A and B are shown apart, each in its own frame.
Chain A
């Protein structure tokens, strides 16, 4: 066989979240320390495809990216009857822990971006001892809103177009056009109201101000990396957050925006490689 076939494998796992069965799609590749990757709001696990196929990282890490329920190939739960989707801090936290438990992952590393970065902070606050290390990309305890999320799900506005157009400005101008378009394509494909529902966690329910000071980085190391072109979770938001957490490692990534792993995988690799090396010890 001469065709190029990428090494990651996709499967479904059934996970109980808030008393309901959820059929969750995940892709994985590699062997070693489990590294669970969380996508951004309104997108899916495809954002991690470059990391999943990285020959060096997968020698030491079992890299796993799953689609949150309602995202990508993980459908809404079977019991959904049409009510508005809203992600909460409790539901998000339970989803990640239940997924890790379902796959019997022992002390995984969790790396999340944007809302994934925010929930990583909550994992550090509430469940640090369950994880080997936590990595927040574009993460802060809070950031000031810059648009009204009601525009994301209206019958008179194309949801895919407006979601993609809004977040397009969060991608660094140096990012390759093909990667920029691929990053935005996931937003154009997202289900109606899903991005908005994720942002309920981000904007309303998941404000962690006043809670992060309790994070114990001796129980679980915490790495925070933010792109300089991210004006949603701006570098100063991450610096402020890191300053409140004793022992947190902060890096501001040049020529990257809000989607480092998908908007410019090569540039992101330069920053994440030393973090993964340090975690390996």
Chain B
């Protein structure tokens, strides 16, 4: 269970490592990403993950940094932002990846082409923990 009161890099990481399994159970989302092959950096500001995506499936998710590992784009957010984003019904202003960047709680960097060509895929991928986690407001 992830609560707003214990939002931390470790708490966010514990949720991120479950995203590949959640994706495996979302065939419609994999289908949406069927033409996507990408290396990206996703997660909290300080402790993100290198994520390797092939044909819409996550084939590797490894804590950064990895020596000389490349990525095309990164989306990183504060631990609080992720916990808010993963609420079953997120609060206004915390409910979308761009809402988070606009409020300064997330940063989007690098070559954005793969992100923008598969924008709904990434929004839905990173929202998958909403389905899984019972999140407590405090």
**Is A144 among interface residues, defined by CB-CB distance under 8 A?**
yes
Interface residue SS majority, chain A: loop
Chain B proximity of A98: nearest CB distance (Å): 35
State in angstroms the CA–CA spacing of A164 and B120 once bound together: 8
| A56 on interface, CB distance cutoff 8 Å | no
User: Interface size bucket, A side?
Assistant: 20 to 34
Cβ-based interface call for A80 (8 A): no
**Distance in Å: Cβ of B113 to nearest Cβ of chain A:** 7
Q: Is B136 an interface residue (CB 8 A)?
A: no
Closest chain-B Cβ to A87's Cβ sits at a distance in Å of 23
Report A-chain residues with C-beta under 8 Å of the C-beta of B117: 156-158, 161-162
Task: Say yes or no: A229 contacts B92, CB within 8 Å.
Answer: yes
Contacts of B101 in A (CB 8 A): 146
**Any A CB within 8 A of the CB of B9:** no
Interface residue A228 (Cβ < 8 Å from any Cβ of B): yes
A271 at interface, CB cutoff 8 A: no
CA distance A170 to B103 in the complex (A): 14
Complex alpha-carbon distance, A173 and B90, angstroms = 7
- The reply on A90 being an interface residue by CB < 8 A is no
Within 8 A of A (CB), among B65-118: 89-90, 92-93, 95-99, 101-103, 112-113, 116-117
Also in contact, A234 and B93, with CB within 8 A (given A146-B98, A162-B119, A169-B98): yes
The docked-state distance in angstroms from the alpha carbon of A156 to that of B114 is: 10
Contact mask for chain A residues 152-164; partner B; CB cutoff 8 A; 1 contact, 0 none: 0000111001101
B123 at the interface (CB under 8 A from A): yes
Chain B hits for A165, CB < 8 A? 119-120, 123
Residue of A nearest to B122 (CB): A165
Which residue of A147, A156, A169, A234 contacts B95 across the interface (Cβ within 8 Å)? A169
Q: List 6 A-B contacts (CB under 8 A).
A: A165-B123, A169-B99, A172-B92, A174-B89, A229-B92, A231-B93
Q: Which residues of A contact B (CB under 8 A)?
A: 144, 146-147, 151, 156-158, 161-162, 164-166, 168-170, 172-174, 228-229, 231, 234-235
**Leading 7 A-B pairs by shortest Cβ distance:** A169-B96, A165-B119, A165-B120, A231-B99, A146-B102, A228-B92, A229-B92
